[in-house]
């Protein structure tokens, strides 16, 4: 069993997840890079190891109970506790296809695919629940674990209701709203056990999720995630934040 602090980042073979893994490893965490594809996951982990960082690929498909359970068993055999869990894995099915010539999202809720919506929820909502539940024994074994749910500005009902220019992303947006509710529920349960649970809004970041059309870099996006994953004692829990502070639900 290692005594080094451990962090798990899901969906970490590219984009914001990979940068989050890099930043946490640079802070002397051993980072478990969660990814479902062996080739991509190991390649991403090797890239970070080549930078001198302590990173290991962990096979993890957040949509499969058996995969999540196996990943938790693998880690439990190697470490005594999990200090930080970043639920980063996410999808925005159909988003790129619905972008107009000016880059704006043009699909109305009345035309949204229910099948896509179900698949989106399985990754963006049920995935974080599966992973958090499976790794909870390891999180509880750590002195003061931190859980970060990677949400989005689009998940804010207040923003959507008050901004007529906000894109109507029914599947993705409502999945992040649901994830915010999941954040609050876990935060209320785990606060007495010393675990802080918060949601992070990294902003509209250039990733494969939006075909690189985002305005922010992954370096900018990872900042708030890393901040919440490394909160000191007495820090907030049950909140929804970007780098400027709390956001309206």
Query: Catalytic positions, please?
Result: 172, 176
Contact criterion met (CB below 8 Å) for 185 and 175: no
Q: Which two tokens stand for residue 190?
A: 């785990």
**In this structure, what DSSP letter does residue 35 have?**
E
State how far the Cα of 30 lies from the Cα of 24, in Å rounded to an integer: 8
**In this structure, what DSSP letter does residue 200 have?**
E
Main-chain dihedrals φ then ψ at residue 15, nearest 5 degrees: 60, -140
Strands 240-242 and 245-246: antiparallel
Of the candidates 248, 218, 246, 249, the residue with the CA atom closest to the CA atom of residue 88: 218
Q: Which two tokens stand for residue 227?
A: 């901040």
Q: Which two tokens stand for residue 67?
A: 């995969």
Main-chain dihedrals φ then ψ at residue 205, nearest 5 degrees: -105, 140
Kindly calculate the radius of gyration of the chain based on its CA atoms and give it in whole angstroms: 17
What is the side-by-side order of every strand in the sheet holding 196-200?
55-59, 30-35, 6-9, 84-87, 146-150, 196-200, 240-242, 245-246
DSSP letter string, 176-245: HHHHHHHHHHHHHHHGGGT-EEEEE---SB-SGGGTT--SB-HHHHHHHHHHHHTPPTT---S-EEETTE
């Amino acid at each position: 069993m290692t005594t080094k602090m451990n962090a798990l980042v899901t969906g970490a073979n590219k984009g914001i997840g990979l940068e989050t893994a890099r930043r946490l490893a640079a802070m002397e965490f051993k980072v478990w890079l969660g990814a479902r594809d062996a080739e991509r996951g190991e390649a991403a982990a090797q890239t970070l190891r080549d930078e001198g960082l302590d990173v290991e690929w962990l096979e993890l498909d957040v949509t499969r109970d058996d995969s999540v359970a196996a990943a938790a068993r693998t880690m439990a055999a190697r470490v005594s506790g999990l200090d930080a869990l970043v639920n980063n894995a996410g999808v925005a099915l159909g988003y790129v296809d619905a972008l107009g010539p000016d880059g704006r999202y043009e699909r109305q809720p009345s035309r949204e695919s229910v099948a896509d919506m179900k698949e989106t929820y399985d990754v963006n909502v049920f995935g974080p629940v599966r992973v958090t539940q499976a790794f909870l024994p390891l999180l509880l074994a750590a002195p003061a674990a931190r859980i970060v749910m990677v949400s989005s500005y689009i998940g804010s009902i207040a923003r959507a209701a008050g901004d007529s220019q906000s894109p109507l992303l029914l599947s993705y947006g409502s999945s992040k709203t649901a994830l915010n509710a999941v954040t609050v529920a876990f935060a209320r349960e785990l606060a007495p056990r010393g675990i802080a649970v918060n949601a992070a809004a990294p902003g509209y970041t250039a990733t494969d999720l939006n075909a690189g059309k985002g305005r922010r870099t992954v370096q900018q996006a990872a900042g708030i995630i890393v901040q919440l994953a490394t909160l000191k004692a007495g820090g907030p829990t049950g909140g929804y934040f970007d780098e400027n502070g709390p956001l309206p639900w």
